[in-house]
């Protein structure tokens, strides 16, 4: 009898210890689960005739929807006014109807620049219509945004809140617009500006920075003032820069300007306008080798119709770059000094028009895509995109240690 009791006690003790260890490991896993901030940066969302001629704009984003949506905040530059009272318009003066950018928002883009050289293509009324559209999107998400911020600051319920959307680029009350919001208890500030406009009528409605020594110095000071007064934990700045389009190199004067913005308080700077991709520069501390600042010199076109035909004979010719872009993913962790980049990666994308279609959709430009084309008998296309992928890989990341 005593032996049986001991045996039962021994078995019970084993089950108890096993359960205790399982509970402890789950609790430990829950506590140690990383809660890092995930960001994604795309380039220009454009709409040429072949883009807005398609029936379902959501199809544009299907191949990268998971990449965009899995980031906490995904950025893009919307390169056109949004005026529902006007028809779609293509180059040289653009206009979008709301369904087109809404598909990008539905795909997960929620940090959107409205400041670029096409912002006032439709004049004063087009700017007002764009502002009204953007405010409608933000208002529709206002309750969700408040729930998100509350959940973020209280942490664990954030996943149950709807995805908020933030716009910057059109002035409000005569002042540059910016957005501040929270990830967990950490404040993020986002501002988008342009140094270029295609028309100067009512330019004061746009977050405009004069591309002069004086104008840039004034904006650097403004960034320093925002940093000092709002004290963001992360400061994201988008600049539609005054420089030549379709050029792969960056001017020294532009590099100097961007670094001045970083020194003034910006943490991540994303630049637009060239319509081709350029390097990403990661800037870190040479002692701890942690990346604290990032400059994206241009992420190219995320979607456009600029590359109307594939140049099979010369896939490296500069115009071919207008059909490609890059998605820069950053996973930011925290230490006693603030945010730093734990993981950084770049995915290449391309505007691809499927057989029998007239409108391009976004495809991930990688070896798998190239091989799939070949397997489907599209050998000419496969060789073209293979050459394009090789060309993009030559644009190397830059690491700067200070």
Q: What is the mean predicted confidence (pLDDT) over 84-100?
A: 97
pLDDT one-digit tens code per residue, 171-187:
999 999 999 999 999 99
- Specify the residue for token string 């960034």: 223
Q: Is the pLDDT of residue 137 over 70?
A: yes
For residue 144, give the nearest of 152, 134, 132 by alpha carbon. 152
Query: How many Å is the maximal CA-CA distance in the chain?
Result: 98
Question: Checking DSSP bridges between strand 324-335 and strand 338-352, what pairing results, if any?
Answer: antiparallel
User: Higher confidence at residue 114 or residue 148?
Assistant: 114
pLDDT score of 154: 53
Answer whether 272's CB lies under 8 Å from 280's CB: no
How much is the CA Rg of the chain, to the nearest whole Å?
24
Q: What is the mean predicted confidence (pLDDT) over 107-124?
A: 97
pLDDT band for position 10 (50/70/90)? very low
pLDDT band for position 65 (50/70/90)? very high
Task: Name every residue whose Cβ is closer than 8 Å to that of residue 276 and which is 6 or more positions away in sequence.
Answer: 245, 246, 247, 248, 298, 300, 318, 321, 322, 324
pLDDT band for position 141 (50/70/90)? confident
pLDDT score of 153: 54
Dist CA 361 CA 210 (whole Å): 35
Q: What is the pTM of this model?
A: 0.88
pLDDT score of 148: 58
Question: Checking DSSP bridges between strand 280-284 and strand 268-272, what pairing results, if any?
Answer: unpaired
pLDDT score of 151: 56
Phi, psi for 309 (deg, rounded to 5): -145, 150
């Amino acid at each position: 009898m005593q032996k049986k009791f001991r045996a039962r006690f021994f078995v019970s003790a084993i089950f108890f210890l096993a359960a205790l260890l399982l509970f402890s490991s789950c609790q430990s896993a829950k506590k140690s689960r990383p809660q890092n901030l995930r960001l994604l940066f795309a380039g220009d969302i454009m709409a040429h005739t072949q883009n807005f001629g398609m029936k379902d704009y959501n199809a544009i984003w299907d191949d990268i929807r998971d990449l965009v949506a899995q980031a906490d905040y995904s950025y893009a530059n919307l390169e056109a006014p949004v005026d529902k009272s006007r028809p779609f318009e293509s180059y040289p003066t653009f206009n979008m109807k709301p369904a087109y950018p809404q598909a990008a928002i539905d795909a997960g883009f929620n940090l959107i620049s409205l400041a670029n050289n096409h912002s006032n293509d439709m004049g004063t009324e087009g700017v007002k219509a764009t502002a009204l559209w953007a405010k409608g999107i933000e208002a529709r998400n206002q309750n969700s945004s408040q729930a998100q911020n509350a959940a973020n600051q209280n942490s664990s319920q954030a996943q149950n809140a709807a995805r908020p959307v933030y716009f910057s680029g059109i002035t409000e009350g005569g002042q540059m617009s910016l957005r501040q919001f929270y990830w967990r208890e950490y404040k993020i500030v986002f501002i988008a500006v342009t140094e270029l406009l295609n028309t100067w009528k009512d330019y004061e409605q746009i977050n405009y920075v004069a591309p002069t020594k004086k104008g840039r110095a004034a904006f650097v000071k403004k960034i320093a003032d925002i940093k000092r007064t709002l004290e963001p934990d992360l400061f994201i700045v988008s600049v539609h820069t005054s420089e030549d389009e379709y050029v792969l190199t960056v001017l020294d004067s532009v590099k100097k300007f961007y670094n001045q913005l970083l020194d003034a308080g910006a943490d991540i700077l994303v630049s637009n306008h060239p319509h081709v991709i350029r390097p990403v520069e990661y800037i870190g501390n040479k002692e701890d080798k942690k990346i604290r600042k990032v400059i994206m010199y241009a992420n190219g076109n995320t979607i456009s119709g600029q590359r109307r035909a594939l140049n099979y004979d010369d896939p490296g010719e500069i115009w071919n770059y207008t059909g490609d872009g890059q998605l820069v993913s950053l996973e930011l962790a925290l230490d006693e000094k603030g945010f730093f980049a734990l993981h950084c990666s770049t995915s290449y994308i391309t505007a691809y028009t499927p057989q029998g279609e007239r409108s391009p959709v976004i495809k991930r430009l990688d070896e798998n895509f190239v091989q799939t084309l070949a397997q489907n008998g599209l050998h000419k296309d496969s060789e073209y995109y293979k050459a394009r992928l090789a060309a993009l890989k030559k644009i190397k990341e830059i690491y700067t240690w200070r």
